[in-house]
Structure 1
Amino acid sequence: MKCSSVQGWRRACVAVAAAGMLVGPVSAGVAYGAPSPDPSASSPAAGAFPQLTPEVSARLDAAIQKVMRETQVPGVTVGLWAPGKGSYVRSFGTADKATGAPMQPDLNMRIGSETKTFTVTALLRLVDEGKVGLDDPIGKYIGGVPDGDRITLRELAGMRSGLFNYSEDPDFDKAVTSDPQRPFTPQELLDYSFKHPVGFPPGAQFEYSNTNLILVGLVVEKVSGVPLNQYIDQNVVRPAGLTRTLFPTGTEFPDPHARGYTNQTATGRVEDATNWDPSWAWAAGAMISDLQDLRSWARTVATGTLLTPATQAQRLATGSTGVPGAGYGLGIFNVQGWIGHNGSLPGYESLAIYLPEAQATLVVLLNTDILHNQQEPSTLFGQAVTGVVTPGSVFYLPVGAGR
């Protein structure tokens, strides 16, 4: 889950306010200035997905390098895989401006709002165990929530609660930018939200809000009896077979990792945000992963490997986001048939999506969150790649739809 204001990256935490995850203007097409895809177009059949031949790879290289030149992104890694069609894995640019070290496919990266897919999966695992119900009111578990007797867990996971997004609060913005290494507690984050009125009745509309996921994380902790990071590690990360994915409790960042660069600072100047404390994002965006783990996770979360079929069906039952061709389910997007989430927080962006018809997976990881012409660079890369391989199903989401 970003927006056009100074508080943008905190709003999305990274991957969508009107849509929720990946970002890109509705008017943008396959790449820069190309015609927009038909939002009603169906996803391509598996047979329509091209072989990832040297010729197609060269087209992908050119499309990605074009985005790099125009956005001035320091470094990016792109992975694309489809059974029977081959694979494409490339890194471009630098991982560290100071040393000139190249971007590489094996680097650890902060993944922002891709964290939401893990947190909601944790909640849904508890649903499958019969320990919580999606239509339970949040007030059953957490006190002091405005409209807590009416807002359900389903509405929190689906971004339809009406609760104010704490990361848009001016005092929160001031606190983070003045001391980026300050740790925050979940309750401190909620306090920024709860001083504002509820925006609309529960379920009335879609509005991307990090506040929702903080509450979901607290429910997981209360019901499971263990800290969120431990529950996700033991019940989501390990069962999914992920080995380089973690939920940090501080500023820890395993090597090797790319340096991350942001202009979401008190001065507006570009700074190295690599070691900023991600606790302000917690259940909404604090996690770390890498290319291969996200490749596996994109398929797992889209196909429901860790959940019962009935619960996965509820997860994928998307509602309108107000963006043509983009729906949001329970902590997950469906954008032109590509299912998954994006992420953004200071210095980093991610995109991990899966196209069921072709069983294709796309992962994009980059070491900046600086917008280009008010567009998310991760979305621009996603548009460029899908524009080459699935021109009838181009991934796009407007800034503010999520992150």
Structure 2
Amino acid sequence: MTPTARIRLRRACTAVTAAGVLIAPVAAGPAYGTSAPARTAAAAPAVPDARSAPSPDAGRDFPELTPAVAAKLDAAIRDTLREAKVPGVIVGLWAPGKGSYVRTFGVADKESGAPMRTDFYTRIGSQTKTFTVTALLRLVDQGKAGLDDPIGTYVSGVPNGDRITLRELAGMRSGLFNYSEDEEFGKALTTGGTRPFTPRQLLDYSFRHPVQFEPNAKFQYSNTNLILLGLVIEKVTGQPLQRVISEQVIEPAGLHHTLFPTNADFPEPHAQGYTDQSASGDIVDSTDWNPSWAWAAGAMISTMEDLRSWAKTLATGTLLKPATQAERLKTTSAGIPGAGYGLGIFDVQGWIGHNGSLPGYESLGVYLPEERATLVVILNTDVLHDGQEPSTLFGEAITGIVTPDHVYPGHEPTAPRHG
């Protein structure tokens, strides 16, 4: 078996990951819990799209986060942690008038046994896509780009570049091959993990393959789309992507612990990350792997509190014109019941946001407008459990208790492991 076959490249941060079923309870592991103060995004006010506006009955079905409910959540999370062999997890759940639930479970470092902490920085993988597409949409609002512009207007050499639009790239409907499913890319990434990649190198891995289908014919998740959108943003602004995202998204959203790294540097404090995406297939420490391979599709770093604030900002569209947010939330089927993908954003059973996965780390940041509830999950592993993403297992366990009519997520076949 080749290293790539063994590793089974997966969509790092796919829009709707494979769902897991919570298995019979096992002995609970240690938990370390602290509460975190609320933070409000300092964004310019905007009228939310009707899709995001809470109904008059908002919050009526969401349970008060009493000690009894917290105990149920504790048990479900501990069971999932033990069953999926996850080293550590951070969970934050908030609903106005219902209270909050903020806990850490397990360890941040398997060698030292140091516990997880709620103030950790983490690599957020494809939650980066929500920032990149927001930066693009702000350029659209400023009249500097159009969603229906062909990508060939901005980037040369793209297959079907005269027909693939920016809208189709943001909505995962371009037909371009996902570079992170390329066998040579998989070998390059998993041999050490420290190699830097340029956006053009990433596109080369994609463009050596034929297009998968005609533009807008169907949904297919591809990191290639976001690399192209990152280049569009740089072309339009004449500035590096990380600067544009910082100035046009992070700062207006009032996020103080979110950044777009340009190398493998990782702010302290953070957990050690563990992955089986190594050349040998063994579980290794990937904490310092260079995230340049994901760039506009998945390189960013954030914290639980910033992801909490960002999930609401993203779902309610406070950084965008109402009409633009409405376009963003027009989802098309992502291939499973109850799940749709918009423009760099998903809606799974009413939960709006994105997940993220890259070697060593997974995250989930979602907002449920109907209940005005926010859920953030952060893990220090991306090792699958019975073919399921561990972040999905936690999302399902938690929402099954607090929002049984909106259980995250649905189901899909096993996906490739990067991108």
Q: State the TM-score, normalizing by the size of structure 2.
A: 0.89
Residue 199 (structure 1) aligned with residue 191 (structure 2): no
- Which structure ranks higher in relative contact order (CA pairs < 8 Å, sequence separation ≥ 6)? 1
Quote the offset at 1:261 in angstroms.
0.2
Question: Counterpart in 1 of 2:52?
Answer: none
Residue type matched to 1:96 in 2?
D
Question: Counterpart in 2 of 1:12?
Answer: 11
Residue 290 (structure 1) aligned with residue 306 (structure 2): no
130 and 6 in structure 1: CA distance in 2 versus 1, 3 angstrom threshold: farther
Question: Counterpart in 2 of 1:345?
Answer: 358
Deviations 1:337-379 (A, max 9, x none): 0000000000000000000011100000000000000000000
Tell me if the contact between 1:13 and 1:284 (Cα under 8 Å) persists in the aligned partners: no
Stretches of 4+ moved more than 3 A in 1? 4-9, 31-34
Matches within 5 A, 1:145-224: 145-224=158-237
Tell me if the contact between 1:163 and 1:193 (Cα under 8 Å) persists in the aligned partners: yes
Question: Counterpart in 2 of 1:38?
Answer: none
Residue 69 (structure 1) aligned with residue 68 (structure 2): no
Residue type matched to 2:200 in 1?
Q
Residue 24 (structure 1) aligned with residue 39 (structure 2): no
Question: Counterpart in 2 of 1:228?
Answer: 241
Question: Counterpart in 2 of 1:52?
Answer: 65
Tell me if the contact between 1:12 and 1:343 (Cα under 8 Å) persists in the aligned partners: no
Tell me if the contact between 1:166 and 1:189 (Cα under 8 Å) persists in the aligned partners: yes
Quote the offset at 1:5 in angstroms.
5.7
User: For residues 8 and 105 of structure 1, what CA distance do their matches in structure 2 show?
Assistant: 31
Tell me if the contact between 2:23 and 2:83 (Cα under 8 Å) persists in the aligned partners: no
Quote the offset at 1:8 in angstroms.
5.1
Quote the offset at 1:7 in angstroms.
5.5
- Select the residue among 308, 320, 328 that pairs with 1:307: 320
Residue 89 (structure 1) aligned with residue 102 (structure 2): yes
Tell me if the contact between 2:92 and 2:103 (Cα under 8 Å) persists in the aligned partners: yes
Tell me if the contact between 1:112 and 1:286 (Cα under 8 Å) persists in the aligned partners: yes
State the identity %.
Answer: 66
239 and 202 in structure 1: CA distance in 2 versus 1, 3 angstrom threshold: same
Question: Counterpart in 2 of 1:259?
Answer: 272
User: For residues 60 and 96 of structure 1, what CA distance do their matches in structure 2 show?
Assistant: 23
User: For residues 229 and 146 of structure 1, what CA distance do their matches in structure 2 show?
Assistant: 26
Deviations 1:32-91 (A, max 9, x none): 489xxxxxxxx9842001100000000000010010110010000000000000000000
Tell me if the contact between 1:7 and 1:167 (Cα under 8 Å) persists in the aligned partners: no
Tell me if the contact between 1:159 and 1:208 (Cα under 8 Å) persists in the aligned partners: yes
Tell me if the contact between 2:7 and 2:278 (Cα under 8 Å) persists in the aligned partners: no
- Select the residue among 127, 142, 154 that pairs with 1:114: 127
Tell me if the contact between 2:58 and 2:372 (Cα under 8 Å) persists in the aligned partners: no
Tell me if the contact between 1:112 and 1:350 (Cα under 8 Å) persists in the aligned partners: yes
Q: What are the ranges of 5 or more consecutive residues in structure 2 without an aligned counterpart?
A: 26-54
Residue type matched to 1:400 in 2?
A
User: For residues 335 and 205 of structure 2, what CA distance do their matches in structure 1 show?
Assistant: 26
- Select the residue among 253, 256, 263 that pairs with 1:240: 253
Task: Give the number of equivalent residue pairs.
Answer: 383
Question: Counterpart in 1 of 2:117?
Answer: 104
Tell me if the contact between 2:144 and 2:236 (Cα under 8 Å) persists in the aligned partners: yes
Deviations 1:135-171 (A, max 9, x none): 0000000000000000000000000000000000011
User: For residues 216 and 24 of structure 2, what CA distance do their matches in structure 1 show?
Assistant: 36
User: For residues 309 and 7 of structure 2, what CA distance do their matches in structure 1 show?
Assistant: 31
Q: What secondary structure, in the 3-state scheme, does the structure 2 residue paired with 1:12 have?
A: coil
Residue type matched to 1:149 in 2?
D
Question: Counterpart in 2 of 1:400?
Answer: 415
Question: Counterpart in 1 of 2:372?
Answer: 359
Q: What secondary structure, in the 3-state scheme, does the structure 2 residue paired with 1:378 have?
A: helix
Residue type matched to 2:18 in 1?
G
Q: What secondary structure, in the 3-state scheme, does the structure 2 residue paired with 1:284 have?
A: helix
Q: What secondary structure, in the 3-state scheme, does the structure 2 residue paired with 1:305 have?
A: coil
User: For residues 306 and 8 of structure 1, what CA distance do their matches in structure 2 show?
Assistant: 37
Deviations 1:73-121 (A, max 9, x none): 0000000000000000000000011211100111000000000000000
Deviations 1:204-260 (A, max 9, x none): 000000000000000001101100001001110010000000000001100000000
> RMSD across aligned C-alpha pairs, in angstroms?
1.7
- Select the residue among 374, 387, 391 that pairs with 2:400: 387
Q: What are the ranges of 5 or more consecutive residues in structure 1 without an aligned counterpart?
A: 35-42
Q: State the TM-score, normalizing by the size of structure 1.
A: 0.92
Q: What secondary structure, in the 3-state scheme, does the structure 2 residue paired with 1:358 have?
A: coil
8 and 192 in structure 1: CA distance in 2 versus 1, 3 angstrom threshold: same
Residue 268 (structure 1) aligned with residue 281 (structure 2): yes
